[in-house]
Chains A and B, each alone.
Chain A
Amino acid sequence: MTEFLVFLPSGVKIGAIYALVALGLVLTYKTSGIFNFAHGGVAAVSAYLFYELHIRQGWHWAPAFLVSLIIVGVFGGLLMERLAALLSSAPTVMVVVATVGLLVFLQSLMTAIYGPANIFLKSYLPTSTLFTLGKFRVTTEDLAVTGFSLGAAIGLYLFFERTRIGKSTTAVVDDPNLLSLQATNPSMVRRLSWIIGSSFAAISGMFLAPLLGVSVNTLILLVIAAYGAAALGRFENLLLTVIGAMIIGVMVAYLPIQFAKLSTNVLVQNLPGNTPFLLLFLVFLVAPTRLLTERGVSNARRLRPIRTYSRPVTYGGFALLGAALLLVPAVVPNAEMTQYASTLGYFIVFASLGMLVWMSGQISLCQMAFAAVGAATAGHMLAYGLSWPLALVVAGAVAIPVGALVSIPAIRFGGIYVAIATFGFAIVMQQVGYYTPILFGQDQRIDVPRPVIFGIHFTQVVPFYYLSLAVAVLAAAVVLAVRASRLGGLLRAMSDSPTALAAHGAKTTLIKVVVFCISASLAALGGVVISGVPQNASGALTGPFSVTVSLVMVAVLGFAGRRPIASPLLAAVLFQLIRIYPPFDSALFLKYEGVIFGALAMFVAVYPSLDIRGAIARLGSAGGRDQDTAGGPVRARLESRPVKPVVIRTAPAAPQAELVGSGKGASQ
């Protein structure tokens, strides 16, 4: 108990910082309906900027802090608000593609400038002991950080629960028609909430820098703590979010010390750090459906269906593609063939992701974690002496229950919660899962040797390319079969109107789980092929199965189109193959690859709202900017849809006979 009390102040301090992160996340989600996956990236940018000004440029910490806050919090917040406005009518998957694109953009940019290593930063706030209370030792830093965070939390709570404008802001997210009827202008409040949200992220990034070091990867992973807190507040309740963050903070500060005493195993030591994720999952498991509603989906535009080609064109295209892929070893030097084989592996994962995203409207941010499950399973099976084809089948099969486990708790709440759950899963796999003996073990490495089947030595690169091609064709066949099957038909219908589908008896949750599991299974096959290239697999942060890779893949798929086979192939080529050919093999491109991918993903996601043709037409006509474009997409949709007159009745519970008469008077 005494030991617990010693850790209490630092636990409360960490909890207060988590509360800041989580509050910013919940606040912006509440007011704009956009769940910002780049929130941790914003925190990281401010930490780097602070480091740049305070350490590299030698500024005093106070102006450095303030300037970082203004640049990242205020200007960043305003930019984020514009992005959110452009995404306000986008389908959930495109919102995720855009914010993940932004995360990839920021992460890659920071890594390109400052390198991937963790930068140590000394405490800049005074750490002198302010007072001691029995066992407590409270420093100025503790008090400043905790006091500021708690004060901000209480202020926000009062604003949203007690003021009229605060209450009205959250109402408009789910009904743009209300927006036009509002007496107060909620866009001002939305802008303010993005500024506050980004500022809180910026401040937490700078508060955390001395505790954890300045590292984009650490700060991005850390945001999962905020997800846990946000989940406890049902992604809506600010007060519960703060309480949740405090609980998580204390657990994260106290438990690792206790767990470290138990064992030196990395697995055991890393586990308590992941309590937020476990809490997140717990909430998904036990919360009733009505408590977690997806915000802003009722106004989402649907994706335009992709153009279909006639059968001869489709089959002719596939035949040409097949022939080209068969001929690759004839024209490509052997040294480059490994890159082609791994491109096929990534194609399989992209195809699995594309099927999930474009056919079912769900998004997975942990696709490479499923691939890792496949690679590790195959490695173990081969070690047990199973043949390679059998190991492949087992790898695909094992991923099915894993997929079900990840998706079932979140799927019933809607698309954005699946994205959140899969992001959490990817992080917990990276930090804990990969260390388990059933995956890569403590050494973080497992052999996945290439096979010899029927006397053919697939250990050599060209035969292995053909083996990879066979698996890729199998995966493509599965994707096409799903598309053509009843499941594909139901998925297409579901992406148009889940409401109508459920009204005819279809179990939409079951359908989503089934397609998620098929996707996970295909990704596992991809993992086996990918690990077959170097003949081993590892869960390292820089390896193919890291969280970052899953995120970058979502960004790349986001701009590679929505075709079932051609788009994943294009995505795989962009992601894996072009880097061996000029000009993409230049150091500069490789350094900024993620920046470009992230930016492209964002652009494609917001493109439908940009009205570029209209802008060009306006440029041509005289008068310039005569239209107020603020809140453009929402307004455009309001104009295109007749707004029903809202009948407000004042006395619903009064006696009937009078109501019939008075109803018309009150109606206007």
Chain B
Amino acid sequence: MSVDLDVKDVTVRFGGIVAVNEASVYAKGARITGLIGPNGAGKTTFFNACTGRNRPESGTVHLGEDRLDGHGTANRAHRGLGRTFQRMELFESLSVAENVRAGPTAYFSSFRLLGPLYARAKESKEIERRAGEAMERCGIGHLARKTVVDLSTGQRRLVELARAIATPFKFLLLDEPASGLDAAETHNFGRVLTDHVAESGVGILLVEHDMSLVSEICERIYVLDFGRIIYEGTTKDAMNSELVRSAYLGEAIVA
């Protein structure tokens, strides 16, 4: 059931600047893979290239056997590649429950020509079930009726995550999902992710600055700097690598 994400030799250029330079990442299904690197290293650009938000100059994106590059964002999501955003993209005027339901609703609406117009009974049931489970898992069930603008950053992050895991994606790209969370929230967040991966078989590629979270839940890590993958290996080895540490030391001074 679980599928791997295989991104090969992706290069993204903005004018004369190379934002991502022949980056390749292989992230296994049913596992959490980390993608770390200092600000401006090209992590979000890399995600955007995977989901079709920008146009890479070269490179391929495969989800299992399915080749995704060449398709638009919605089409890639329709084929099973989901994501969250560094700058949160919530439906601000909707309630928490409506936000979470909107994910699978958007997904199911893409399977029929008249899908956007009305829901089939079976779909509605499935959407309700998935949204309920996702909110439960993320511990936001008690907020269901609240409008998302009224929530704290940590709660908003959870809503965005719940929306993504309520949608029947095969693979998820999470862009700094724990930024703005305190230590306890972050720990809790990590548990939600590991549980979801273990139960659903969905693979996750995680961009995150909180190294304690990364080392806790990621099996493998890729390090991106100046648009290049400069390191790839197990999390444990990465923590001991001089190269990785100096890249992060640089980050610490910049910030």
Residues on A lying within 8 angstroms of B by beta carbon are: 290, 302, 305, 485-487, 489-490, 492-493, 495-497, 499-508, 510-511, 514, 645, 647, 649, 652-653, 656, 659-661, 663-664, 667-668
Contact = CB atoms under 8 A, between A and B. Distances in A.
Interface string B231-247: 00000000000010011
A75 B116 CA distance: 49
A515 to B, nearest CB: 9
Contacts of B163: 500, 504
B79 to A, nearest CB: 8
Interface stretch (B1-9, B102-110, B205-213): B102-110
B136 interface: no
Contacts of A305: 93
A507 to B, nearest CB: 5
B246 A660 contact: yes
20 contacts: A302-B93, A487-B116, A492-B93, A495-B93, A496-B92, A496-B94, A497-B89, A497-B92, A499-B53, A503-B51, A504-B103, A504-B107, A506-B105, A506-B107, A507-B116, A514-B117, A656-B225, A661-B246, A664-B249, A664-B250
Given A503-B51, A504-B163, A505-B106, A659 B225 contact: yes
A507 B109 CA distance: 8
A502 B94 CA distance: 17
Contacts of B39: 647
Contacts of A656: 225-226, 228, 230
A290 B54 CA distance: 10
B226 A506 contact: no
A500 B91 contact: yes
A660 B225 CA distance: 8
A495 to B, nearest CB: 8
Interface string B187-203: 00000000000000000
Contacts of B110: 505-507
Given A493-B94, A496-B92, A485 B107 contact: no
A503 B83 contact: yes
Given A507-B74, A663-B254, 19 more contacts: A486-B105, A490-B105, A492-B93, A499-B53, A500-B163, A503-B85, A504-B82, A505-B110, A506-B110, A508-B74, A510-B113, A510-B116, A645-B254, A656-B230, A661-B250, A663-B225, A663-B226, A663-B250, A667-B254
A647 B254 contact: yes
Nearest to B147: A305
Contact of B247 (A485, A511, A653, A660): A660
Contacts of A487: 116-118
A486 B119 contact: yes
B70 interface: no
Interface string B10-46: 0000000110010000000000000000111000000
Contacts, number: 140
Contacts of A490: 102, 105-106, 109, 116
Contacts of A668: 254
A355 to B, nearest CB: 14
Contacts of B105: 486, 489-490, 506
Contact of A505 (B77, B92, B228, B243): B77
A656 B78 CA distance: 37
Interface of B: 17-18, 21, 38-40, 51, 53, 55, 72-74, 77-78, 82-83, 85, 89-94, 98, 101-107, 109-110, 113, 116-119, 163, 167, 225-228, 230, 243, 246-247, 249-250, 253-254
B37 to A, nearest CB: 11
A511 B116 contact: yes
A668 B254 CA distance: 7
A506 B225 contact: no
For the residues of B in contact with A, the DSSP-based class is mixed
A653 B13 CA distance: 12
A501 B106 contact: yes
Nearest to A668: B254
Given A489-B102, A504-B102, A504-B163, A667 B250 contact: yes
B77 A502 contact: yes
Contact of B89 (A495, A500, A649, A660): A500
A547 B83 CA distance: 44
A549 B104 CA distance: 42
B93 A496 contact: yes
Contacts of B74: 502-503, 505-508
Contacts of A511: 109, 116
Nearest to A506: B106
A649 B94 contact: no
B73 to A, nearest CB: 5
Instruction: Specify which of B78, B109, B243, B249 lies most central, judged by the most chain A CB atoms within 10 Å of its CB.
Output: B109
A504 B79 CA distance: 10
B196 to A, nearest CB: 17
B85 A500 contact: yes
Contacts of B72: 502
A496 B243 CA distance: 42
A297 B21 CA distance: 29
Contacts of A506: 74, 105-107, 109-110, 116
A290 B253 CA distance: 37
B46 to A, nearest CB: 15
B56 to A, nearest CB: 13
Contacts of B85: 499-500, 503
A27 to B, nearest CB: 23
A663 B105 CA distance: 44
A209 B32 CA distance: 70
Given A486-B119, A667-B254, A501 B246 contact: no
Nearest to B38: A663
Contacts of B102: 489-490, 493, 500-501, 504
A452 B186 CA distance: 71
A590 B47 CA distance: 58
Given A503-B73, A504-B163, A659-B225, A493 B106 contact: yes
B40 A649 contact: yes
- Name the residue among A500, A505, A506, A647 with the largest chain B CB count within 10 angstroms: A505
Contacts of B93: 302, 305, 492, 495-496
A17 B69 CA distance: 46
